[in-house]
Copies of this chain bind each other. A is one copy, B any other.
Amino acid sequence: MSKAPPPKPTDSELEILHVLWQHGPATVRAINDSLSQRRQAEVGYTTTLKILQLMLEKGLVRRDDADRSHVYRAAVREQETQGLLLDKFVDAAFGGSALKLVMQALGSRQTSADELAQIRRLLNDIEIQNSTPNPDEDERA
């Protein structure tokens, strides 16, 4: 056994993760400034600090406390975290059907031709992978 994986981040924690994913490692001060910009209102400094401390305990961030102003960085990857959240969301809101979710996301929303093209490319890639069971990765079998 090893440590438990980091739990699903809350809304506030996710907002902080977005800042860290985008800007890289940062001090509480810098994170708090980004957060205050991102929202309408000013965010209390100690509020941001507190959330970061809780995130540290949960393993969502790491910190470098060599300097007086500690530097925090994300301990979870953006794609993995989004995938985790997406799984839960698909279950809770769409009864587990990712297809329904995709249809809803594409259907009730303005989607540009460029984006549609990207999705088509992805669809092609998926179909190729489905038909040719990737000979490269299967060599370990």
| Cross-chain contact of A120 among B95, B100, B105, B123 (Cβ < 8 A) | B123
Contact A122 B103 (CB under 8 A): yes
In the complex, which residues of chain B have a beta carbon less than 8 angstroms from the beta carbon of A130? 113, 116
Given known contacts A105-B105, A106-B122, what 20 new A-B pairs fall within 8 Å (CB)? Answer: A11-B92, A79-B108, A82-B100, A82-B101, A83-B108, A85-B89, A86-B104, A89-B93, A98-B105, A99-B119, A101-B105, A102-B105, A102-B106, A103-B122, A106-B119, A107-B122, A113-B130, A116-B126, A116-B130, A120-B123
The answer to whether A127 has its CB under 8 Å from any CB of chain B is yes
The answer to whether A14 has its CB under 8 Å from any CB of chain B is yes
Whether A118 contacts B103 in the complex (CB less than 8 A), given A89-B89, A93-B89, comes out as: yes
- Return A130 CB to nearest CB of chain B, in Å: 6
CB-CB contacts below 8 Å: A104-141 with B? 104-109, 111, 113, 115-116, 118-120, 122-123, 126-127, 130
In the complex, which residues of chain B have a beta carbon less than 8 angstroms from the beta carbon of A104? 79, 82-83, 86
What is the total number of residues of chain A having a CB less than 8 Å from a CB of chain B?
39
Contact A99 B123 (CB under 8 A): no
